[in-house]
Homo-oligomer: A and B are copies of this chain.
Amino acid sequence: MAGRIICFGELLLRFTAPGNERLMQSPRFDVHFGGAEANAGVSLARFGHDVGMVSALPDNPFGHSMSEALRAQGVDTRHVLAGEGRMGIYFLETGAVRRPSRIVYDRANSLFANTRASSYDWASVLNGADWLHLSGITPAVGPEPMRAAQAAVRAAQKANVKVAFDGNYREALWAAWGGSGPSILRDILVHADTAFINERDIALITGKEFSSREEAVAHAFTEFPALTSVACTTRAQEAVSNQTLSGELYTRSGVWKSTPHEMIDVIDRIGGGDAFAAGVLHGVLEGFDPQRTIDFATAAGVIKHSIPGDWNLTTIQEVEEAMSGSGLDVRR
């Protein structure tokens, strides 16, 4: 059943060097839109859900075009605040052979980072919502986003809105303003119903060491009683463009695993995790059984790797075809 999901996080411009060129090798950039929560939100809107974005954008051509792009994808932008300031940018250089892709961030001092936590009216924003989705990047952006994330999660709990949390620990962002990442993420995870975290995230947040993913997840279920599901992926990279992706979904009843998907000639790996997260949430919202949920989510993640840009510009039908392993020859 289609639900209403509120996504809270920063919206970014992405500037990509053409083809496999180095950054600034030739004088051109291709432009896409990004931001972890928006990436997931666009997927969910394309899967038929009612998605509302909460963020802050400058009242300039960049903010306007970001809003327009979200609206084009069917995402409701009524709760995106407008103001004076800059939009965060990230630059992407697409790797090849054995040279990894590389991101250079230019996101400091963005309008989102500087927007006061009190600017968001969570009671109103969450009215009618089923889920609140945010990632560990949101509180890492700065003290105000951190406070806003905390307020959002508390308001969600109050309003019986479930929380989905995507770990996404970014050391450099926390370090930039001295935020104590692990303890803040812990406070958010306490309220989460569904979390996209793996053994490293759990170790970091809980301050414990684990000998396996299973052990870490088991501990998470113990330490975070609200948690009903934990999902994560395993990625192997034989080469920059040849990878294998598989997904795992843990609930308190057991674990479900997708088959591994070999991904040859990966086009764009950015947003793969967000596409996966959206796939899990879609399964949960639609009431899929866990196996179908993890299969759908992993196939959604796989499809993302074939599409330029951060957004998973796909459809339920295409994800289901990828799940079913239907033929790869030209569709006419």
Residues of A whose CB lies within 8 Å of any CB of B are 15, 19-32, 60-62, 64-65, 68-69, 71-74, 86, 89, 91, 93, 95-106, 108-109, 170, 172, 235, 237-242, 261-267, 269-270, 302-303, 305-309, 313-314, 318, 321-322, 327-332
Contact = CB atoms under 8 A, between A and B. Distances in A.
Q: Give the one of A99, A239, A266, A321 with max B CB within 10 A.
A: A99
Contacts of A321: 100
Q: How many copies of this chain does the complex contain?
A: 6
Given A28-B29, A96-B266, 6 more contacts: A15-B15, A23-B65, A24-B64, A28-B28, A28-B31, A97-B302
A105 B62 CA distance: 11
A8 to B, nearest CB: 21
Contacts of A308: 19-21, 25
8 contacts: A25-B308, A25-B309, A95-B306, A98-B261, A98-B263, A99-B318, A235-B329, A269-B329
Nearest to A86: B106
Contact of A332 (B25, B30, B172, B239): B172
Given A20-B306, A330-B103, A97 B263 contact: yes
Nearest to A171: B332
A64 B32 CA distance: 19
A132 B305 CA distance: 45
B241 A264 contact: yes
Given A235-B329, A237-B327, A264-B239, A24 B101 contact: no
A74 to B, nearest CB: 7
B97 A239 contact: no
A328 B98 contact: yes
A100 B239 contact: no
